[in-house]
A and B are shown apart, each in its own frame.
Chain A
Amino acid sequence: MPIIEAKGLARTFTSRKRGGRPNAVHAVRGIDITVADGEIVGFLGPNGAGKTTTLRMLTTLLTPTAGTATIAGADLLRDPVGVRRRTGYVPQAIGQTQGGTDNQCKVTEELLDQAALYRIGKDEARARAELLIGQLDLGGLGDRLVKTLSGGQRRRLEIALGLVHRPPLVFLDEPSTGLDPQSRSNLWGHIRGLRDGLGTTVFLTTHYLEEADALCDRVFIIDHGVIVADGTPDELKRRISGDVVSLRVNGDAGKARELLARQPVVRDVAATGDGESGDNRDGDGGALRLTVFHGAEALPSLLRVLDDAGITMTSINLSRPTLDDVFLTMTGRSLRDDSPSAAQPADAHPAEAQLAENGSDRG
């Protein structure tokens, strides 16, 4: 029995402009989502794609205009309180509204209040608050006012609040937006720990492709209110563009190219450094870029082919396409425009930078 089973979930907003006819906005247009127990699922999409609307429907904050869903065993429409009882929700921390903590509250007070909202007894609440403070690295902060916490600490507290009642399923809306890279990877550790340690199913939305890639077992890509792709990050990347093998040979690059192009696993071979792509900084003509199905499995056979032909290689590099490539293919848009990581220097993500570069001459 899947922990989330949504069928045809849709939400239409009607906005009325003064003097105009009512204008229907189809924020989400009938999506199906199935999530198995214990998965970490990422919900990916550009701003306005319908991510938050979907999340608000799944968490009972918004009534769907069509469709049905069963969440943690409770029917979304008939038993919203049942859904609330069995799920945790950590709202987005940046934007119109924030993550749900009050500046004037102390950390422990927030946790105890949250437990009271789930009608957990005082002693039990105290024990759980203490446990969560330990689990989420909030030790020693129990008596601090929320306003004195750092961004990362505050976010961890907000996640702790979503876990007080030990829900089998927790929704995280952009859990790491606004955090510095270090806090972000720290948070990823905590999110993995939720699933690995407690068996909690995690459904998160994110802007960060690295986040979906690093954290999620499965990814849904939503655009214009429709799910355009879903699968494991690896599946998606394979489906879209194959893997990228860059190699450099000593000597007859033309022959190598010819040989490799004949291999069934190779989808495409391009010589780089031949002026075609403008990437001729090396100028030695020995560099090749291959698009290959199942790159990791194909690599040994490619090596053998070159070896048999007596061609020696000076370097070889296998890189996977990133989710950004997938995203670009599926939605025609890059998520990067929305993501602060775009502003990072290229050498922070060498593989991605390289691929982004390659991507331009591939299409």
Chain B
Amino acid sequence: MTFIDDTLTVFRRQWRLSMRNPAWVLIALMQPVLYLALFGPLLTRLPAGVLSGGASAGTGGGGTAAAYKFFVPGLLIQLGLFGSTFVGFAIISDWRSGVIERFRVTPVSRLAIMAGRVLRDVVVLVVQAVILVLVGTAFGLRAPVTAVLVSLGFIVLVALGLASVSYATALALKSEDAFAPLVNSVVVPLMLLSGIMLPMTLGPGWLQGIARVSPFRYIIDAMREAFTGTYGGTIMLEGVAVAVGLAIACMWLGSRAFLRENT
């Protein structure tokens, strides 16, 4: 399979480059860890039942356990959202240095130039997610291993799709100045509408209605459900369907844009 070999060739190069400055992998974790340390404790004081709102059928009273079961999945999605939508920045500098063009005149699959990078991003993100869960555990998260694995699966799907779109968009824009505000204006509303900090069920009807359009809303609900130890319900099915659909649609869009000749 030449495509897989090519993807691995690109992956190895990108991984090596990432590992040249592994500090960045950790620095990218600063934000969610700070949320965990400085915002998480606020949630532990909420009255019982607020966080489990309408999303799932009661995890019992409030307190530390419920707070982190609610908050850690949110942070994982936030990590995935920001971590994978901002990867496009790197490809703009790769384009500028001529590396992209250099790769495109070799027989390597042009799709692999993107796929190898996406694979690297997914691996980096999984490493970060595992660290985040461990830190969360230190703060008082108690979650079944299966739930953590299910969450990682969701993160992988989210990253596959968003990183692909991010690369394609960045390569089409070829300008950090245009890319940064674009990403922010897409990611921030998506994040706010996903109920990362607080359950959307607390909001008024109209907000809950709008939030229905954010695919991450469904994914995060499914992850929270997993953290309560339920894996077979409608919420989980919806979450999986949305995550898989989103990943496929985004990868398709990304690869189409990437294969266009004038990149």
Residues of chain A at the chain B interface (Cβ within 8 Å): 59-63, 81, 84-85, 87, 89, 91-93, 96-105, 109, 113-114, 116-119, 161
Contact = CB atoms under 8 A, between A and B. Distances in A.
A89 B99 CA distance: 12
Nearest first, the 6 closest Cβ-Cβ pairs linking A and B are A100-B102, A100-B98, A117-B106, A89-B105, A117-B108, A98-B98
Interface residues of B, number: 26
Given A62-B261, A85-B107, A98-B98, 8 more contacts: A87-B105, A92-B98, A99-B98, A100-B102, A105-B17, A109-B13, A117-B108, A118-B108
B237 to A, nearest CB: 42
Interface string B84-114: 0000000000111111011111111000000
B2 interface: yes
Interface string B1-26: 01001100100110011001100000
Contacts, number: 72
Given A62-B262, A119-B2, A114 B98 contact: no
Nearest to B113: A117
Contacts of B6: 117
A118 B107 contact: yes
Nearest to B261: A63
Nearest to B97: A98
Give the secondary structure class of A's interface. loop
Contacts of B262: 62
Contacts of B2: 119
A102 B17 contact: yes
A128 to B, nearest CB: 14
A87 B105 CA distance: 9
B16 A91 contact: no
Given A62-B262, A109-B16, A84 B98 contact: no
A81 B103 CA distance: 12
Contacts of B108: 117-118
A84 B97 contact: no
10 contacts: A61-B101, A62-B261, A92-B98, A99-B97, A100-B101, A101-B97, A102-B17, A109-B13, A116-B9, A161-B102
A59 B98 CA distance: 14
B107 A91 contact: no
A314 B16 CA distance: 70
B107 A102 contact: no
Most chain B CB atoms below 10 A, which of A85, A109, A117:
A117
A129 to B, nearest CB: 15
Interface of B: 2, 5-6, 9, 12-13, 16-17, 20-21, 94-99, 101-108, 261-262
Given A97-B96, A98-B97, A117 B17 contact: no
A119 B4 CA distance: 12
A98 B105 contact: no
B107 A84 contact: yes
Nearest to B263: A61
Contact of A103 (B95, B97, B104, B105): B97
Nearest to A60: B105
Contact of A117 (B9, B20, B95): B9
A308 B95 CA distance: 69
Contact of A102 (B21, B97, B101, B104): B97
A122 to B, nearest CB: 11
A91 B105 CA distance: 10
A98 B95 CA distance: 8
B106 A114 contact: yes
A98 B17 contact: no
A84 B106 contact: yes
A101 B99 contact: yes
Nearest to A146: B97
B16 to A, nearest CB: 7
B107 A119 contact: yes
A94 to B, nearest CB: 10
Contacts of B97: 97-103
Given A62-B262, A97-B95, A104 B17 contact: yes
B101 A91 contact: yes
A98 to B, nearest CB: 4
A61 B260 CA distance: 10
A315 B94 CA distance: 58
A61 B99 CA distance: 13
A91 B102 contact: yes
Given A63-B261, A81-B107, A84-B107, A113 B101 contact: no
